[in-house]
Amino acid sequence: MKIIPLKKNSTIHSCNSYLILGDWNRSDDVNTIIDPGIDDYVIKEIEHLSAGLGKMQVAQVILTHNHSDHSKSVQAIKERFHARILAFSDGPGVDELIRDGQLVKAGDQVLEVLHTPGHSPDSICLYAPAEKALFSGDTRLRVMTPGEAHPQEYIDGLMKIACRDTQRIFPGHESPITSGCQEMILQTVRNLHMRSVPLRGRRAVFTNRISIQA
């Protein structure tokens, strides 16, 4: 899997966008954009990239949620590349609704859909198990203060992420995180459980008897 951050003209009001390709540009790869943002410049960026012969330059777009800073350019990309639009909730241009736990091919591998409401009811993260990589959209992964109040559905979503071995994070805003990802997520989960709970080896054990293998 190749993960290519796409450049933008506008970096203030648009999100990070990622193009997913296969390692060898095979004909059965599914070229995928995660969160195209608001800036049609991504179209020009893609047209200058080698996306492989015998397949669509962009076969599908996956939205981590339907906020306009992540989805405004969907229609332009759909018209230019005839790409299918996948999202957790319906919205302009959406062709297919995806569900929690679904596996979606992207590039030459699969992404697991993790429903992580909190930032929005339809927020998802996308986990690439072969790459140990997480595309987190606007899901908040860092909570520094123990005891902060958060909806249970947000905590449940974070628990799903914590159960995966994440070594790289590609967020919707700011730079990718390439070290300390799993410990950051586990620390956030501990903080969300009202108090810090020590690790036993690489296993976090919580007072509610939930155990997470890191």
Q: What are the structural domain ranges in the chain? A: 2-142+166-178
The dihedrals phi and psi of 170, each to the nearest 5 degrees, come to -115, 95
Q: For the chain, what is the mean pLDDT?
A: 85
> Span 2-142+166-178: which CATH code?
3.60.15.10
Q: What is the pTM of this model?
A: 0.85
- The per-residue pLDDT for range 129-164, each reduced to its tens digit, is 999 999 999 888 887 666 566 778 888 899 999 999
Distance separating alpha carbons of residues 135 and 196, to the nearest angstrom: 26
* Residues whose CB falls within 8 Å of the CB of residue 137, separated by 6 or more in sequence, listed in order: 15, 35, 64, 65, 70, 116, 119, 123, 124, 125, 171, 172
Considering only residues 211 and 18, tell me which one the structure prediction assigns the higher pLDDT. Answer: 18
State pLDDT tens for residues 105-119: 999 999 999 999 988
The whole-angstrom separation of Cα 86 and Cα 84 is 7
